[in-house]
Amino acid sequence: MNKKIWKMFCVSSAMLVSLPLLSVTTTANLGPELKVGEINGGLLELDIQILNTGDVPINNVEWNVSVNGGILNKINARGNSIVSRIEANNNEWDRYPATGNGYKLFGIGLITITVTAKAEGVDEATKTIKGLALFSFIIPLG
């Protein structure tokens, strides 16, 4: 009886050891993939992280930000910029000033911050978080 169990154990072990030698592993090319990362606040600005989690660089990434809310919905700011290139598996930070382009990010109250990033041939990425505006100081809450 013990010989039979030992023989089954040896055959099973040999099969498990040889299994990786017989298997074929393929890796897929992910291509470029955009994501909106962190959104950090501060005095008169928002710092926005745009990520390329794919394995191919992305050129001419256009991002847009909108900030809405505050007491009586008086905060209504928009901004945009273009990042010329984001390498594969990398990120770029860009800054949205709280003043400029005719918009002023000034007020008090809860706000909604939405960032959208897009580039040709890549799916659009969007992230929305809540925040708090205290005059020109922006505090992201999530």
Residue-level pLDDT at 14:
61
| Contact call for residues 68 and 76 (beta carbons, < 8 A) | yes
By DSSP bridging, strand 103-104 and strand 99-100 are antiparallel
Q: How confident is the model at residue 42 (pLDDT cuts 50, 70, 90)?
A: confident
Secondary-structure percent of the chain, ordered helix, strand, coil, rounded to 5 = 15, 60, 25
For the residues 83-109, what does the mean pLDDT come to?
80
Query: Which range has the worst mean pLDDT, 15-24, 102-111, 112-121?
Result: 15-24
Pick one of 3.30.300.30, 2.60.40.10, 3.40.50.720, 2.40.50.140 as the CATH number of 34-140: 2.60.40.10
| Contact call for residues 50 and 34 (beta carbons, < 8 A) | yes
Residue 19, C-beta contacts closer than 8 angstroms, at least 6 positions apart: none
Residue-level pLDDT at 23:
55
Length of the chain equals: 142
Residue-level pLDDT at 133:
93
What's this model's pTM, rounded to 2 decimal places? 0.75
Residue 116, C-beta contacts closer than 8 angstroms, at least 6 positions apart: 36, 63, 64, 65, 124, 125, 126
Higher-confidence residue: 102 or 88? 88
Residue-level pLDDT at 79:
87
For the residues 65-92, what does the mean pLDDT come to?
91
| Four-CA torsion 97, 101, 102, 106, nearest 10 degrees | -10
Residue 93 CA to residue 36 CA, distance in Å, equals 10
Q: Where are the alpha helices (DSSP H) in 23-111?
A: none
Question: Quick one: which of 45, 38, 73, 63 has its CA closest to 115?
Answer: 63
